[in-house]
Structure formats: structure tokens, C-alpha cells
Amino acid sequence: MQGAPPPAPPPGAKPLDPGPPGACPWTFDWFQPPGGGRLRYGHVKASNPRGTLVLFMGRCEYLKKYDEMACEWRDRGFQVFALEWRGQGLSDRPLENQHKCHVDDYAVHGLDLSAWLEAVVRPREVGPCVIYAHSMGGLIALRYLANQPERFAAAVLSAPMVGMNTDPWPLPVAMALGRLACALGYGGAYAFGQGDYHASVDAVFEGNLITADPARFQRIHDGYRINPRLMVGGVTFGWLAASFRALAELLRPETLRRIATPVLLLIPGEDKLVPPAALARFAQSLPTCVVKEYPRGRHDLLSEQDEIRRSVWKDIDIFINQTL
């Protein structure tokens, strides 16, 4: 069952979720992809832009989570575009339970992305076009680059989902469970140990896997508190099975050889979601890849403490300036 879409903003409406004074000035709009439904996207303008940055968000994320980072790209001379994937943010969600993170096949994300890039981004591109992708967004970005290697001038990938920590289940068991559940008609059910978003559990800073910075961690969950429609809970068996299939397709040698875009791969040393060892192995498969590691970084490096973020931005600046 298709989840009810959010109401369309009236003509001339102010941007949704404008945030506090000084927040990054996203302009929000809606896109209707050929596959149906409605997706929300955002645009941040830059004065005399030198280039265009396309942001590929991770699982559960939404536009205003990236206020700070979008401002930093803007201040470096890049206009910013970002699409909230189908199933998160204020984009349409595929299941009646809006908390469930679900997709039947990553081809859906690829079709949405390709249509949006051509209809919305390409007509407004200025200068070279660059990707910044995080986690699940990195997997989507890499699949796109394998098919369109000349589309982007460079890609910065932060902990792209080229591997998955499936604890307490061994990876082969987790893969088998996902396939079996889908075959039995339970693809839309929560995977074992997953459930709806609850702030009393999910918004607790202690022991979180995302960042060691309490203020930036709280900012993520403040967005859910301000607008509960942004909440996303755990993953379904269908999401797991689709993710494993997408990974298997990406990691084929013939697929990897097609990725010719220069890549900066950012590896958090304390990542408990995407194993650093998997990221390091993946880097060896790419023909044009620069690797930077941050031993104390957790999963989301640009939500980390200032000291780590300064190192990350220094490496991004060097890579972008040398590549472009």
C-alpha cells in the first residue's frame, strides 16, 4: 500500500522547516518521477558558483540534517542539490507503516535519481559537477557511476555502504534470512531486532554509532522531534535483501572497472555500521581512488567533533582543488 504523500505546498509558500536564524537557506521543491509518487528535493544557491555539488544522503536522513555541511560547500563556491530518497524525509513512503525503511529493489532509487538529475539538476548546473555521498547514498552513487562514469567530475564518498555489519548474525545467515523472508511474503516486515523509531531509545547519545559530538547528534534527532513525519525506524527484510543484491552487483569486477570517476574515499576508523576493512578492500578495486582514514571517527564523519571535521575538510579541499 502506498503511504499517503505529504500535502503539496501552496504556490509561493515559504520553504518547509525553515529552521532557526542562520540555518542553511535550502529552497525546497517537489519532483514527480516517471515511476510515480512524489519526492522532495532541496537547492542551496551560491554567489558566482564555481561548481555544483549533488548530495547523496544516507539511510533515514533528510535535507535539513545537512544544513551545516551544505553551507560549507556553498562557502567553497558550490551550489548544492539534494534529493530525499523514496521512503525517507518528506518523500513518498512505500509502506503503510511510515517508520519502516523499505525498498524492493535499488533500481527504484536509480530510476528516481536519473530522472531527477536530468529534469532538475542538469538545466541548472554551473561548472563541474561533484558528488558527496554518505553511507547508503554512497552505494547508490557508486551504482550510478558504474553506468554513467563521465557524468560527474569527482566523488567524495564518506563510509559508502560497500559492506554491512550484520551482528549478531554472520553475513551469510543474514543474507539467507532476507531472501527466505521475501520468498515467504514477509519482505515488508521488520527484520529481526528492528522496529519503529522511539526517541527514548534512538535519540540517546550514549553508545550511539554515528558521532562522538553530542550537539550534532542531538541536532539530527531535533529534526524528528520538530517534524515527526521525518522519522524512520529500522529496516525490513525487503530492504536487507535489496541491499545485499545491490552490493553483489556493485562488487562484480566488471562493474567496478566501469567506475572511472576520481574518488576520495573517507574511512572512519571506529565505524560499527560499515566495516573499515571492507572499505579498505573496496578502495583497492577502484582505478582512481584516494583514501583518507580517521582513526577516531565514527560512521558520519561530517557530523563528528570539530577536530575530526577540520581534518576531513582539509582532505576534501585538497582533493577537489587538485581534481578540478
For residue range 54-74, list pLDDT tens digits in order: 999 999 999 999 999 999 999
Instruction: Please compute the mean of the pLDDT values over residues 19-41 and round it to a whole number.
Output: 82
Place 308 in a pLDDT band, splitting at 50, 70 and 90.
very high
Instruction: Please compute the mean of the pLDDT values over residues 241-260 and round it to a whole number.
Output: 96
Place 16 in a pLDDT band, splitting at 50, 70 and 90.
very low
Ramachandran angles phi, psi of 184, nearest 5°: -90, 0
Single out the residue of 36, 52, 33 nearest to residue 44, CA to CA.
Answer: 52
pLDDT over 50 (residue 3): no
pLDDT over 70 (residue 21): no
CA 151 to chain centre: 19
pLDDT over 70 (residue 12): no
Identify the pLDDT of residue 23: 57
- Percent of the chain at pLDDT exceeding 70: 93
Q: What is 27-323's CATH superfamily?
A: Alpha/Beta hydrolase fold, catalytic domain (3.40.50.1820)
Instruction: Please compute the mean of the pLDDT values over residues 227-239 and round it to a whole number.
Output: 97
Q: What is the mean pLDDT of the chain?
A: 92
Beginning with the edge strand found earlier in the chain, give each strand of the sheet holding 263-268 in spatial order.
27-31, 39-44, 78-83, 51-56, 129-134, 154-158, 263-268, 289-294
pLDDT over 80 (residue 133): yes
pTM here is: 0.92
pLDDT over 80 (residue 94): yes
Distances in Å between the Cα of 140 and the Cα atoms of 111, 145, 156, 242, 262 are: 11, 9, 13, 12, 16
Domain boundaries, the chain: 27-323
Q: Under 8 Å CB-to-CB from 124, ≥6 apart: which residues?
A: 43, 52, 79, 81
Residues forming beta bridges with residue 52, ordered by sequence position:
79, 129
